[in-house]
Structures are given as C-alpha cells and as structure tokens.
C-alpha cells in the first residue's frame, strides 16, 4: 500500500507529468484546445484524490482521466460539432498508443505553441503556465492577483486566438522555428520578471512565477542544448535568482545591489549560471540574453560592490546597445559609465535615454543615484522623490521615499553644522 | 498591469445634467451600455471588478483622532469630487487602459449623445521591482 504522500510531492508529480499527459491526449485526439481543458480537469481531480494514495502510474492515470473527460465533453457538445468530430475521426483514426516522440520533443512543441507570436505576453504567460507548467487556473489567477474567472476567460481567449492563427500541436515548420524560439524566450523572460514582484506577505497559495520560469526555461534548454540564447536566458535567470535571498530584508524592504549582504547570495546558482554562460558564449553567437547574463555574472562574482569590474560592465552594455535600441540599456549602463568615465558622462547618457523613455521612474532613480555619488544630496533627494511618485511597485516606492528622506535629513544637518545659517547644499558638498 | 478607472460626479465635457434628470429610455440605454461593456471586458479576461457606488446623499464622512470618531452626514458641498464608481481591469498596457477609459467616457447620455465624463486612469501598485540602480 502506498503511504500517504506529501502535498509537495504530489504537486511535483503533477507538474512533472502534466505536459507529457497533455501531449499524449492532444496527439491522440488531434485537439490541443479540448485536451488542454481535459488535462486541467484531470490535474484538479488528481489534487483532490491523490492525497489518499498515489496511483501506480501517475502519468497513465492523468491520461486516462483526461481522455475520459475529453470524450465526455465531445458527447455533451452539440450535434453539429459531434457530427464534425465523427467525420474527422473516420477520415483520420487517432493512434491508439502514445505518439512515438519523446518527452523532450513534446515539451518543446508545447512551449513553442503556447508562446506563439500571435499571442500577447499577457495571454501566452498564463497559457504556458497551465499547459506546460501544470498549474491550475486558480493558482495562476492568484499569481497575477486577479479572480479565477478572469484568468479562466483569458486562457480560453488565448486558445481561441491560437486556433484562429492556425496554431496546432505539432513542431513548427523549420523556417519558423527560430522566430518561434525567440518568441518563447521573450515570454519566459517576462514571466520571470513578473515573479520578481515583491509580494505582500508570504502567501503560500501564490505560486512563485520566477521559479516556474526557471523550471520551464530549464525544460527548453534540455530540448535545445545547442541554442546559446536559451542557455543565456537560463543563465540570466539563475544569476539573478542567486541574489534573491538578499534582495529584500526581513522587514520586507527592498535592498539595492550596493547594500546587499553578498554572503547570502547562492554560490550554487552563481556557479551553475557562470558555467552555462561561459559555455554559451564560446559558441560565438552572442545575443542579448547572454550579454545581460554576463552583466549579472560580473556583479555576482564581485567580492564587494566597490570591487565590481565596472570597465567590463560598461563594455557589455556597449555591446548590448549595438544589438538593441531599447533605451533601458542606456539607463542601466549609467552607473558603470559613472564609475569608468565620470558622473557628467553618465548624466549625459541618462539624458539621452530619458529623451526616449520620457518621465519614467527609473530615469529619476538613476539620476538620484548619480547625484548622490556626486555628493549633491538635495538634487538626489528631489530625484528620489520624483522616482517614488512614479513607480508602480510598492516595495520600490518605500525604498525610494526612505532614500529621499535620509538624504534630505543629512542635507539639512549639514547645512546647520556648516555655518549655523541656511546654506545651499550644492554639488560641491563633500562626500562622506 | 492593473488599473483603476475612476469616475466622479464632476462636470462632463458634454454638460449632461445629472442622470436623475434623463429620460427613462436614455437611462436604460446607458445602463445597458455599461453592462455590455462589462461583459465584453469579462470575455476578454480583462475585468476584475466593476462597482457603482450609492449616491452621495447616502454618504458619511468619518474622521477620528483615535479616540472619538466624528461622523459627518451629507449633503456635502463638494459632491462633484465624490467617487461615483470604478472599474478595476488587468490589461497588457497603459494604451489598453486608456482605450477602455475612452469607451467608458463615450457612454451614451441624453438622446444617445456621448456623456464624455472624465475618467481618471490610475495604475495599481504591483509592477516588478529592480535591485539595480
């Protein structure tokens, strides 16, 4: 008799087998849309029934239950659809056994289908989480802080869009494969960033989107081990995740890179990311994800903030700017430029990025940081306040407000101690 | 990205009178429009919540020094600033939020002419944070 399984073990089993079960059912009935719904129902049934005892073959259980649900759905569908179905089945009898393709190919096909370029990221991310990640609609809704009905509707719209775009459960044609892979990487990158939202409290019911994105990107990397940008994205995620333990302090406050406790960074993730990245860059096709990962690697490997190899980071950002016209690149480069070429050059770079980005909170936050480096506390405080007023992240706002008040306080104290009368604290103020 | 689209009792660009003074058929058309819009947004998986608030006549304003709360009854001199209702949506972009706000603003008023109520569009906190400054 199977001992009562741990809830976490069940979850892991479900996640592991969901994409393969979906591939089998979708292949058998040639109906991705219906199979996706049926597998979702099977997952919910499994979550309810497996705690009493695991089936001997979890994947076969999921396939059987999902197939039964799908057939029930066909039976209850209207007569017109049923007639269509029968005509279809006669023309092309479904294979009785599992398709011959392996797990790896199935996962790849599923990811490339769910991240189809016809879908916006807001549609592709939930669909990928459900079809490939094996998450339930309820869990996905919780991750995005929307009601379950809203998320269910969004996923079913996504599938309708896929259908209209001719997306089917089959490997994409060779000439579309590369573009489809790029599209999948973009979706996974955004999913990871979404997971970086500092959560309000520890809500265990809320799945960790960053961890899901890492898991799915690992899956993609196992399917496409030769693709340097897939490896680059995975490295970027691992090298960013490595810093997670020190990104937020015990009180839930955001800790910026210079103030992070580097002893808490994960050496294992850093080592894995660096090996992946080194191997990918050796192939010679350097792309945006590899370069971003390289920047993260330089930060992760610096013993202290002061010992960061800014020359290398500035060089990596120059390479990134050649590949991408995203003005964020210029903004992210600003601190490295300040360290290598001086603050005036960095501020010039920020002005150029600001021309394209407009009144963006990151523009103000970076300016604030540069003014602080220059010792101009009043200007820095004003820019921190401007950034705080414009960010849409609560943890970031708290950090920016605290930075502004810390600086204006020291600026006031300084003006008192200098002469006892009010002194304008200009750019010539001494740096501590 | 989540946004709140807020509407107050303030003046509209069409100078429409308060809804209580509209013809019954115009009120029905207006309400039908709002319901259809909600259904459409729900179908698109964009609607989180749509709330209309009871009129300002029934409003109370509470202030407290931590010991004795003071509750003020209406009527209030500045009803125009009071919230009439809101929609909470989760959309792909700022542009889409503005597009929905434009639909809301063009809701039919007297004689079917767009009311042109000003709709305040506010992003709900929750965007990704960064630790690189």
Give A159 to chain B, closest Cα distance, Å.
Answer: 12
Query: With contact defined as beta carbons under 8 Å apart, do A34 and A72 qualify?
Result: no
Contacts of A299 in chain B (CB under 8 A): 132
- d(CA B16, CA B106) in angstroms, rounded, equals 12
Nearest-10 crossing angle of helices A32-49, A58-76: 120
Helix spans in A7-147 (H)? 7-29, 32-49, 58-76, 79-91, 103-114, 121-131, 137-143
Q: How many CB atoms lie within 10 A of CB A100?
A: 8
Which residues of chain A have a pLDDT value below 70? 1-3, 78-104, 196-206, 411, 414-432
Contact B131 A256 (CB under 8 A): yes
- d(CA B80, CA A229) in angstroms, rounded, equals 55
| Closest to A297 in 3D by CA, of A215, A217, A255, A241 | A241
Instruction: Check residue A294 and give its pLDDT.
Output: 98
Q: Count of A–B CB contacts within 8 Å?
A: 83
* Beta-strand relationship, B2-8 and B83-90: antiparallel
Give B7 to chain A, closest Cα distance, Å.
Answer: 21
Dihedral sign for Cα A103, A104, A105, A109, please: positive
pLDDT, tens only, A296-325: 999 999 999 999 999 999 999 999 999 988
Helix spans in A165-266 (H)? 174-195, 209-223, 228-241, 244-247
Mean pLDDT (whole number) for B71-83:
83
Instruction: Check residue A428 and give its pLDDT.
Output: 38
Task: Name the residue among A151, A153, A197 with its Cβ closest to that of B126.
Answer: A197
Task: Name the residue among A145, A154, A335 with its Cβ closest to that of B133.
Answer: A335
Instruction: Check residue A86 and give its pLDDT.
Output: 57
**What CA dihedral angle connects A198, A202, A207 and A211, to 10 degrees?**
60
Give A341 to chain B, closest Cα distance, Å.
Answer: 17
Q: How many CB atoms lie within 10 A of CB B64?
A: 9
Contact B48 A146 (CB under 8 A): yes
The pair of structure tokens assigned to A306 is 């002061």
- d(CA A222, CA B74) in angstroms, rounded, equals 66
Long-range contacts of A345-351, Cβ-Cβ distance < 8 Å, separation of 24 or more: A346/A370
Maximum mean pLDDT: which of A321-330, B70-79, B120-129 = A321-330
Give B50 to chain A, closest Cα distance, Å.
Answer: 13
Contact A394 B126 (CB under 8 A): yes
Long-range contacts of A323-328, Cβ-Cβ distance < 8 Å, separation of 24 or more: A323/A287, A323/A288, A323/A291, A324/A288, A327/A352, A327/A353, A327/A355, A327/A356, A327/A357, A328/A353, A328/A357, A328/A362
Task: Name the residue among A123, A157, A396 with its Cβ closest to that of B129.
Answer: A396
Q: How far is CA A428 from CA A341, A415, A422, in A?
A: 19, 13, 16
Task: Please give the distance of CA B63 from its chain centroid, rounded to a whole number.
Answer: 24
Contact A394 B125 (CB under 8 A): yes
Contacts of B91 in chain A (CB under 8 A): 122
Residue B133 banded pLDDT, cuts 50, 70, 90: low
- d(CA A379, CA B111) in angstroms, rounded, equals 54
Q: Identify from B3, B39, B45 which residue to disrupt to test chain A contact, counting A C-beta atoms within 10 A and taking the largest count.
A: B45
Instruction: Check residue A409 and give its pLDDT.
Output: 83
- d(CA A278, CA A282) in angstroms, rounded, equals 6
Instruction: Check residue A80 and give its pLDDT.
Output: 55
Contact B128 A243 (CB under 8 A): no
Task: Name the residue among B42, B43, B126 with its Cβ closest to that of A145.
Answer: B126
Contact A394 B90 (CB under 8 A): no
- d(CA B59, CA B57) in angstroms, rounded, equals 6
| Closest to A287 in 3D by CA, of A333, A233, A325, A242 | A233
Contacts with A339 (C-beta within 8 Å, 6 or more apart), sequence order: A308, A310, A314
Contact status of A168 with chain B (Cβ, < 8 Å): no
Whether the model clears a pTM of 0.95, i.e. scores above it, the answer is no
Task: Name the residue among B92, B124, B128 with its Cβ closest to that of A193.
Answer: B128
Contact status of A396 with chain B (Cβ, < 8 Å): yes
Instruction: Check residue A93 and give its pLDDT.
Output: 43
Contact A256 B132 (CB under 8 A): yes
- d(CA B16, CA A404) in angstroms, rounded, equals 45
Contacts of A154 in chain B (CB under 8 A): 44-46
Nearest-10 crossing angle of helices A327-341, A361-373: 0
Counted residue by residue, chain B has a size of 133
Contact status of A193 with chain B (Cβ, < 8 Å): yes
For chain B, the structural domain boundaries read: 2-123
- d(CA A320, CA A327) in angstroms, rounded, equals 11
- d(CA B45, CA B37) in angstroms, rounded, equals 12
Instruction: Check residue A94 and give its pLDDT.
Output: 45
Give B63 to chain A, closest Cα distance, Å.
Answer: 26
Residue B130 banded pLDDT, cuts 50, 70, 90: confident
Q: Which residues pair with B3 in a beta bridge?
A: B89, B123
- d(CA A300, CA B86) in angstroms, rounded, equals 45
For chain A, the structural domain boundaries read: 225-308, 359-432
Contacts of A151 in chain B (CB under 8 A): 45
pLDDT, tens only, A162-206: 999 988 888 888 888 999 999 999 999 999 988 765 444 445 556
Helix spans in chain B (H)? 24-43, 94-105
Q: A299: cis peptide before it, omega within 30°? A: no
Percentage of residues of chain B with pLDDT beyond 70: 98
Residues 27-86 on B with a CB inside 8 Å of A are 42-49
Is 3.90.180.10 the CATH number for B2-123?
no
Listing DSSP states for B67-87 in one string gives SS-EEEES--TTGGGSEEEEE
């Amino acid at each position: 008799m199977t001992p009562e399984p741990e809830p976490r073990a069940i979850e892991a089993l479900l996640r592991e087998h969901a994409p393969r079960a979906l591939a089998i059912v979708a292949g058998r009935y040639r109906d991705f849309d219906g199979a996706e719904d049926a597998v979702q129902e099977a997952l919910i049934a499994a979550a309810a029934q497996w705690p009493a005892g695991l089936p001997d073959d979890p994947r076969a259980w999921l396939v059987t239950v999902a197939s039964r649900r799908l057939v029930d759905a066909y039976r209850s569908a209207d007569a017109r659809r049923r007639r269509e179905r029968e005509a279809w089945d006669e023309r092309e009898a479904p294979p009785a056994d599992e398709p011959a393709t392996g797990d790896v190919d199935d996962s790849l096909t599923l990811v490339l289908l769910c991240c189809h370029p016809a879908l916006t990221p807001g549609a592709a991310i939930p669909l990928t989480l459900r079809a490939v990640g094996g998450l339930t609609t309820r869990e996905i809704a919780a991750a995005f802080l929307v009601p379950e009905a809203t998320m269910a509707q969004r996923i079913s719209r996504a599938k309708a869009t896929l259908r209209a775009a001719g997306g089917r459960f089959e490997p994409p044609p060779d000439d579309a494969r590369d573009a489809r892979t790029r599209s999948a990487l973009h979706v996974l990158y955004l999913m990871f960033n979404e997971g970086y939202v500092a959560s309000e409290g520890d809500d265990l019911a809320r799945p960790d989107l960053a961890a899901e994105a890492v898991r799915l990107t690992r899956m993609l990397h196992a399917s496409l081990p030769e693709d340097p940008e897939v490896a680059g994205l995975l490295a970027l995620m691992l090298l960013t995740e490595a810093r997670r333990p020190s990104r937020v302090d015990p009180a839930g406050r955001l800790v910026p890179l210079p103030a992070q406790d580097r002893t808490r960074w994960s050496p294992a993730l850093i080592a894995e990311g660096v090996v992946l990245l080194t191997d990918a860059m050796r192939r010679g096709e350097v792309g945006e994800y590899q370069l971003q990962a390289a920047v993260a690697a330089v930060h992760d490997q610096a013993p202290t903030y002061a010992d960061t190899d800014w020359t290398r980071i500035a060089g990596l950002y120059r390479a990134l700017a050649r590949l991408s016209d995203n003005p964020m690149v210029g903004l992210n480069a600003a601190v490295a430029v300040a360290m290598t070429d001086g603050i005036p050059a960095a501020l010039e770079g920020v002005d150029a990025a600001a021309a394209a980005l407009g009144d963006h909170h990151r523009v103000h936050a970076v300016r604030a940081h540069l003014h602080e480096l220059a010792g101009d506390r009043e200007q820095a405080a004003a820019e921190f306040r401007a950034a705080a007023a414009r960010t849409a992240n609560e943890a970031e706002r708290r950090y920016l407000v605290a930075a502004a008040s810390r600086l204006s306080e020291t600026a006031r104290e300084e003006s008192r101690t200098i002469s006892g009368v009010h002194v304008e604290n200009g750019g010539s103020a001494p740096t501590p | 990205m989540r946004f709140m689209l807020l509407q107050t009792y303030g003046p509209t660009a069409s100078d429409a009178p308060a809804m209580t003074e509209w013809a019954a058929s115009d009120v029905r058309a207006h309400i039908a429009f709002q319901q259809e819009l909600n259904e459409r947004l729900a179908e698109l998986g964009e609607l989180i919540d749509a709330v209309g608030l009871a009129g300002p006549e029934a409003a109370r304003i509470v202030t407290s020094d931590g010991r004795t709360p003071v509750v003020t009854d209406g009527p209030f001199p500045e009803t125009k600033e009071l919230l009439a209702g809101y929609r909470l949506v989760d959309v792909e972009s700022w542009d889409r939020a503005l597009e929905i706000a434009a639909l809301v603003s063009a809701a039919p008023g007297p004689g079917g002419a767009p009311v042109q109520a000003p709709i305040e569009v506010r992003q709900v906190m929750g965007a990704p944070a960064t630790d690189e400054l």
